Structure 1
Amino acid sequence: MKGVVVGAGYVGTIAANRLAKKVESAEITVINPRPEFVERVRLHEQIAGTGSAATPLASMLGEGITTRIGTVDKIGDGQVTLDDGTSLDFDHLFLAVGSTVAPLPGTVAVGTWEGAQEARTALAALPGGRTVTVIGGGLTGIETASEIAAGRPDLRVRIVGETIGGSLSAGARKRVRAALARLGVEVVEDAVTRVESGAGEQGGDLVGLRSRPHLTSDLTLWAIIGSIPDLAARSGLEVAADGRAVVDENLRSVTDPRIFVVGDCAAVPGSRVACATAMPQGAHAADTLARMIHNREPEPYSMGYTGQAVSLGRNDGLLQVARRNDTVRGLHFAGRTAAVVKERVCRYAKFGARTATYAWLRGPK
């Protein structure tokens, strides 16, 4: 059996490693744009210079798995074509290209490896007293603003979003704002529609705010997940309105059952963009293919959430408790203990991707 995995983030890596363990005869090739495994949940550390988000991909993949560095241009009838014109045949394929970022001009995207590297370089070059603005009030924006403020107290840090921590409970949002205040982060709850570049390519005036038409910024970071790569649509797979590939209850494309679609690029009802979503999908898809190869009936995909975790610098954090259907409860934990738990969650995700050992809750009935 020839298996191809497109994308080597958390979901692609665990899928490849899990399939290799369960189907010894499988010939598995992983295609990835870069020779590193990138921990997306640590990109804020990469930006602030407080940690590293990259690990050699070869050290993350099991023995016998082939790595191909490149970008897939199209997936055809049992064949993958790369942008260099070469192609690979497959019996089954895992599409795991994740999500991407569409930043406004004049900003640097923080949700990609390339953007994080650019932001890290720009941030390191900023002298004290300058202003850094993070656009995006979700967990990515909160973590980025907190990490920079904690690591560079000589800078003025601002976070802009329609709602800061909108996915959290009211009590958790209040705790996040208190943490940001302690770090000296200015909070602006407003929408940004356009950024005007000033003297530098990554700074200038933020325009389009409803209540504050102009805010000067020396470095503006974009922390909003904006789009899905169009590989699925370009390859003729049925996609939802947001660009995610439509899948059946076993995470297979409804257009081509040889293709499993997992992670951010899969249109799974009730799922959100998160490492906690991707890991179970990658593991389940590999288990499903192994069951099919061994002539066993596949089981429908099921996954339940436990909550959300957010870093507020290296020594503070917050854990939001949620129901399995991902609706938040009025319970959260914060402080040093929450930061330690968040760190362990990040380590477990990497461990799970590398070892293919991962457990998760079943979804709500």
Structure 2
Amino acid sequence: MKVVVVGAGYAGVIAANRVAGKVKAAEITVVNPRSEFVERVRLHEQVAGTGEAATPLASMLRDGIDTRVGAVEKIGDGQVALDDGGARVDFDYLVLAVGSTVAPLAGAVPVGTWEGAEEARGALAGLGGGRVVTVVGGGLTGVETAAEIAFGRPDLRVRLVGTAIAGSLSAGARKRVRAGLDRLGVEVVEDSVERIDPGEVLLRSGASVGSDLTLWAVIGSVPELAARSGLAVESDGRAVVDEYLRSVSDPRIFVVGDCAAVPGARAACATALPQGAHAADTLARMIQGRQPEPYSMGYTGQALSLGRRDAVLQVSRRDDTVRRVYFAGRGAAVVKERICRFAKFGARTATYAWLRGQK
């Protein structure tokens, strides 16, 4: 039984490790563009130089799992074609877990990818005191990036540009986020970006601001692999799946994480881990001749860092709608750090439990 996992983020790693634990006869191959496992929830630390986001992939996978470093060009009928022009990997079942990506405006460095985060880290290291860094994107990625840079490099001027700052949080939590950014000295501009020129960012309102380094913190697209391979996709490129997280085009292919069109799901490690684990459990059930169970997952909240000593934890209902309750401060920062560590632990050990969705 040959199982191929394409992508080694949270969803892909937990899927591979969980299949290895449940299907002893499986020959598992993980295909990934790099030989590292990247903690996406720590990319803002990587950018700011306050932490590290990469771990050797071999240390994250169980013994016996093979790895192939390379990018996948296409998934065909039981085969994965790599982009090196000739290599192919056969499969009986496949888990597609390529995540999401970014499409920045020209002139900006994307911080939502490993390569972009490394480029941004190098660029930041070369900036002298008093220089201006502009972070584009008012979502949690943008807020965390701006706050982390302001915390790690207090000698820089940090600006955050976005139309809705932390807009996925409750009103009270958003107010607390703004207070945390103010304490770190982050300038907040509620606007969108029209164009980025050398040394200048042009806003949609017509105003412009100076910027020595502009970072793009908007996660807005998924890789084209599913569409390129002929799988049914939605307009945004996410693969259409059934209630078991199998592609509606090919039941041998499971699609999990950011690249899967799962109703009610948002891009987060809190989504990727349950989906990867469920796909592995379903595959094991199918191989054993047992009836698979529909995927079900409920959210508990959102967490974002404001530097290393502050954070906001937003409590939500299972359907991901926010409650008025939130927690903030040093205690919240400790909890946020533990959440990040647990996510990595869950992927590596395949030991993970989650809240079921509402019936």
Q: CA RMSD for the aligned pairs?
A: 0.6
Taking the aligned partners of 2:70 and 2:2, their CA distance within structure 1 comes to 18
TM-fit CA distance, 1:194: 1.6
1:230 and 2:224 correspond: yes
Taking the aligned partners of 1:143 and 1:208, their CA distance within structure 2 comes to 21
Q: Deviations over 1:290-331 (max 9, x none)?
A: 001111100000000000000000000000000000000011
- Give the alignment of 1:339-350 within 5 angstroms: 339-350=333-344
Taking the aligned partners of 1:105 and 1:293, their CA distance within structure 2 comes to 48
Q: Deviations over 1:144-184 (max 9, x none)?
A: 00000011111000000001000000000000000000000
Name 1:51's counterpart in structure 2.
Answer: 51
- The SS at the match of 2:154 is coil
1:205 and 2:200 correspond: yes
TM-fit CA distance, 1:209: 2.7
1:299 corresponds, among 284, 293, 296, to 293
Q: Deviations over 1:334-365 (max 9, x none)?
A: 00010000000000000000000001000012
Q: Deviations over 1:276-302 (max 9, x none)?
A: 000000000000000011111000000
Taking the aligned partners of 1:151 and 1:290, their CA distance within structure 2 comes to 45
Q: Which runs of 4+ in 1 moved over 6 A?
A: none
Q: Deviations over 1:10-33 (max 9, x none)?
A: 000000000000000000000000
Taking the aligned partners of 1:359 and 1:335, their CA distance within structure 2 comes to 27
TM-fit CA distance, 1:213: 1.5
> Given the two structures, how large is their TM-score scaled by the length of structure 1?
0.97
TM-fit CA distance, 1:71: 0.5
- Give the alignment of 1:165-204 within 5 angstroms: 165-196=166-197, 198=198, 204=199
Taking the aligned partners of 2:353 and 2:209, their CA distance within structure 1 comes to 45
Q: Which amino acid aligns with 2:119?
A: E
TM-fit CA distance, 1:208: 3.3
Name 1:35's counterpart in structure 2.
Answer: 35
TM-fit CA distance, 1:193: 2.2
Q: Deviations over 1:65-104 (max 9, x none)?
A: 0000000000000110000121011000000000000010
Taking the aligned partners of 1:213 and 1:29, their CA distance within structure 2 comes to 51
- Give the alignment of 1:36-185 within 5 angstroms: 36-84=36-84, 85-185=86-186
- The SS at the match of 1:333 is strand
Name 1:266's counterpart in structure 2.
Answer: 260
**Identical-pair percentage:** 77
Q: Which amino acid aligns with 2:6?
A: V
Taking the aligned partners of 2:152 and 2:50, their CA distance within structure 1 comes to 7
Name 1:201's counterpart in structure 2.
Answer: none
Name 1:312's counterpart in structure 2.
Answer: 306
> Which stretches in structure 2 are left out of the alignment for 5+ residues?
none
> Given the two structures, how large is their TM-score scaled by the length of structure 2?
0.99
Q: Which amino acid aligns with 2:62?
A: G
TM-fit CA distance, 1:226: 1.6
Number of residues of Structure 1 aligned to a counterpart in Structure 2: 358
2:327 corresponds, among 318, 322, 333, to 333
> Which stretches in structure 1 are left out of the alignment for 5+ residues?
199-203
Given that residues 191 and 203 in structure 2 are in contact (C-alpha distance below 8 angstroms), is that contact kept between their aligned partners in structure 1?
A: no
